[in-house]
Amino acid sequence: MSDPIRSFLAIELPNFLKFKLEEFIRSLQKKTGKTKWVKESNLHLTLKFLGNQPAEKINALIPALTGGYPPLPPFRLTTTKFGAFPSKQRPRVFWLGTAATPQTTLSDLRNRIENSLEPLGFEKETKPFRPHLTLGRSKIPEDFSTLWEYVETHPFPPFSFEVNHFVLMRSILKPEGAEYRILQKFSLRK
């Protein structure tokens, strides 16, 4: 049996948006101490985290995601407000929200993924889907008041782009941070 593959399904971001987010993240870094911020190359919107899986199971999900369904149309995704999970008072994850146009398209895509993968042994997610771009993670409590004040006066402007595919991404953990590689693209069609 081969080594497990750590992977997830995601929406890629256009390079221009990644560049703008990197600029925004650099300004946020100056307002925090120990927060680990996401590298520009790793910015994406996660649709489903698959974890460590045998290669055979990863190979089986490719036809499951491409067959048996009418095509989903491309849609627009727009960045929204900056926030934190679980809360602003106790942030562990800093994120930028997203909204889809038409509104149901992103949730339709997510539901199709969940329904396609359940027969292969991937458990359906029970938490509500809250689409976002993870920008940073904080493991050590600190005072983030300067960060929140900055974001209040310097919000990230809304940015809209067309989503015409999603990807199966491999995550390779390295001492300097995760490295992502695309294993498969899945097209959305008009």
Residue-range domains of the chain with CATH:
5-187 (3.90.1140.10)
Catalytic hit among 24, 61, 91, 132:
132
Catalytic hit among 10, 43, 44, 65:
44
Tell me the percentage of the chain whose pLDDT exceeds 70.
97
pTM of the model: 0.93
Beta-carbon contacts of 186 under 8 Å, excluding residues fewer than 6 positions away, are 65, 66, 165, 166, 167, 168
Task: Please check the confidence at residue 67 and state whether its pLDDT lies above 80.
Answer: no
In whole angstroms, give the CA distance from residue 9 to residue 105: 16
Number of neighbouring beta carbons within 10 Å of residue 136: 19
Model confidence pLDDT, tens digit, residues 151-173: 999 999 999 999 999 999 999 98
| Residue 132 annotated among the catalytic residues of the structure | yes
